[in-house]
Amino acid sequence: MPRVAVEDNSRMSLRIHSEDKALLLRAVAYAHTDLTDFVIQNAMQAARAVIAKAEQISLSERDSVRVLDVLENPPPPNAKLLAAARALPR
């Protein structure tokens, strides 16, 4: 079946097993909310967690000390860095 193009991009359609929907509806009843708000709230929370994990770097204590040391005492520029700096437009 062809899909109809929708100009309003605020809707999302999902297919879900009946057992899964029943579980969601049970949770919705306990949360005193509606299905849309429940799904959006929890999906957004999961999305933020995935993004934070992907965009965050965790360093060990040893690596943190190494980074701070290199920032405070940078090594002299090597040949590649000097060549890159010379290649920059003025």
Whole-prediction pTM = 0.59
pLDDT 10s digits, 14-27: 999 999 999 999 99
- pLDDT confidence bin for 5, thresholds 50/70/90: low
Residue of 34, 11, 14 whose CA lies nearest to 24: 34
Q: Where are the domains of the chain?
A: 18-87
- pLDDT confidence bin for 90, thresholds 50/70/90: confident
- What is the C-alpha to C-alpha distance for residues 45 and 49, in angstroms, rounded to an integer? 6
pLDDT 10s digits, 37-84: 999 999 999 999 999 999 999 999 999 999 999 999 999 999 999 999
